[in-house]
C-alpha cells in the first residue's frame, strides 16, 4: 500500500514533466494513440492495475466521462495550459490510490439498495471523508466530510461553476447523501486518530457552516476552483476536506506540505496527503 501511495505522490508532483515529453500535438488530444498511451502511462506508473481496470473499461470512461471533465477544466484554466494525458495523471485516472479501484466501477447488485444504505448510515462517523465518482469543475470525483455522526458538509458545485457559484456550501443528512449518490460508489475513509478526526470535523463546521456550531448556516462560500489552497472563500469540495485536516488539527503533522501537492487538490488523491501516523483507513464502499 505504501508503495502505491508513494507512486501516486510522485505522479502528482511530476505529471507536468512526463506529459510535456510525451504529448506534443494538442490537436489529437482524444486520438486512439493518445488514449492507448495514456492508459499505458497509468500502468507504467503503477496507478492502473490492468486486472482491476481493463483498457476497455478505461476506454468507456474516457469517452463518456473524462473528455467532458477535461474540457471543463481547460475552459477554466486557459492561462495554465494542460494537455489531456497530463490532466488524467493529475486526477490519478479516477482511481483511488489505496485500492487501485476506479470511482466509476459499476455497481453490481450484490446487496439491495436498502441494505447498502443501512450499512452506509451505520458506518459513517464524525470526521470521516466521503469520496464518490461524480465530477464537477473539471475534477474527477467528489469529496465531503462528516461534521457529526449524522451531518455531511460539502460543496457540490453545479451549473455555472465556471464563473463561481455563490452560497454553495451546504449540510445534508447522511441519509440524503446516500440518496443523492445511490447510483455511485461512496468510499468512506477514516483517520486512525479519532481526536484528529473530531478536530477536523469541528473546524470544517465552524469555518464552512456556522462559527458557533449552530444548525443555521451563517457562512456563505462561493464554489470556484483556484490554485489558492489556503483561502476559505472561494473553495471547492476536496479543498474543504484537506483544509479541515490541515488547519483544524493544531500542531500535529497530519497533512503533507500542500505546496508540493499539485495545482489543485483532486478528490482521488486525498488519501496521499495524510502522513503517518494519521493515515486514513478505508472503511469500505457503499
Distance of CA 274 to the CA centre of its chain: 14
Q: What is the mean pLDDT of residues 82-107?
A: 92
Q: What is the mean pLDDT of residues 143-168?
A: 92
User: How is 163-223 classified by DSSP, letter by letter?
Assistant: G-BTT--EEEEHHHHHHHTTTS-EEEEEES-HHHHHHHHHHHHHHHT-TT--SS------B
Which pLDDT belongs to residue 201? Answer: 98
pLDDT class of 269 with cuts at 50, 70, 90: very high
Q: Which CATH number fits domain 110-285: 3.30.420, 3.30.70, 3.30.1360, 3.90.1720?
A: 3.90.1720
User: In the chain, which segments carry CATH 3.90.1720?
Assistant: 110-285
Signed CA dihedral, 215, 219, 222, 223: sign only: negative
C-alpha–C-alpha distance, residues 285 and 133, integer Å: 11
CB 15 within 8 A of CB 84: no
Query: Measuring CA to CA, which residue among 74, 102, 75 is closest to residue 87?
Result: 74
pLDDT class of 26 with cuts at 50, 70, 90: very low
Q: Grid coordinates in use for 218?
A: 451563517
What dihedral angle (degrees, nearest 10) is formed by the CA atoms of 112, 173, 61, 279? -100
Q: What is the mean pLDDT of residues 21-31?
A: 54
Which range has the worst mean pLDDT, 69-78, 170-179, 232-241? Answer: 69-78
Q: What is the mean pLDDT of residues 171-180?
A: 97
Q: What is the pLDDT of residues 182-198, one digit of tens each?
A: 988 999 999 999 999 99
Which pLDDT belongs to residue 128? Answer: 98
Which pLDDT belongs to residue 5? Answer: 44
Which pLDDT belongs to residue 227? Answer: 84
Q: Is pLDDT above 60 for 8?
A: no
Q: Grid coordinates in use for 232?
A: 476559505
Task: Tally the residues of the chain.
Answer: 286
C-alpha–C-alpha distance, residues 157 and 139, integer Å: 11
Which pLDDT belongs to residue 262? Answer: 54
Amino acid at each position: 500500500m505504501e508503495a502505491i501511495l508513494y507512486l501516486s505522490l510522485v505522479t502528482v508532483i511530476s505529471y507536468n514533466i512526463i506529459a510535456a515529453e510525451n504529448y506534443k500535438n494538442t490537436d489529437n488530444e482524444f486520438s486512439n494513440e493518445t488514449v492507448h498511451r495514456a492508459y499505458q502511462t497509468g500502468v507504467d506508473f503503477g496507478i492502473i492495475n490492468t486486472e482491476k481496470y481493463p483498457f476497455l473499461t478505461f476506454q468507456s470512461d474516457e469517452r463518456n466521462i473524462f473528455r467532458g471533465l477535461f474540457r471543463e477544466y481547460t475552459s477554466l484554466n486557459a492561462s495554465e495550459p494542460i494537455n489531456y494525458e497530463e490532466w488524467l495523471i493529475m486526477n490519478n485516472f479516477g482511481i483511488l490510490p489505496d485500492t487501485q479501484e476506479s470511482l466509476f466501477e459499476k455497481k453490481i447488485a450484490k446487496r439491495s439498495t436498502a441494505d447498502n444504505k443501512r450499512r452506509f448510515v451505520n458506518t459513517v462517523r464524525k470526521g470521516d471523508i466521503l469520496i464518490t465518482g461524480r465530477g464537477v469543475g473539471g475534477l474527477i470525483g467528489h469529496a465531503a466530510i462528516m461534521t457529526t455522526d449524522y451531518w455531511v458538509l460539502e460543496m457540490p458545485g453545479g451549473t455555472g461553476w465556471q464563473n463561481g457559484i455563490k452560497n454553495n456550501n451546504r449540510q445534508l443528512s447522511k441519509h440524503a447523501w446516500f440518496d443523492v449518490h445511490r447510483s455511485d460508489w461512496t468510499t468512506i475513509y477514516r483517520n486512525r486518530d479519532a481526536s484528529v478526526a473530531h478536530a477536523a470535523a469541528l473546524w470544517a463546521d465552524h469555518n464552512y457552516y456556522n462559527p458557533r456550531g449552530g444548525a443555521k448556516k451563517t457562512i456563505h462560500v462561493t464554489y470556484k476552483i483556484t490554485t489558492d489552497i489556503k483561502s476559505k472563500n472561494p473553495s471547492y469540495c476536496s479543498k474543504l476536506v484537506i483544509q479541515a485536516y490541515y488547519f483544524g488539527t493544531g500542531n500535529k503533522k497530519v497533512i503533507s506540505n500542500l505546496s508540493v501537492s499539485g495545482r489543485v487538490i483532486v478528490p482521488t488523491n486525498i488519501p496521499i496527503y495524510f502522513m503517518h501516523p494519521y493515515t486514513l483507513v478505508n472503511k469500505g464502499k457503499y
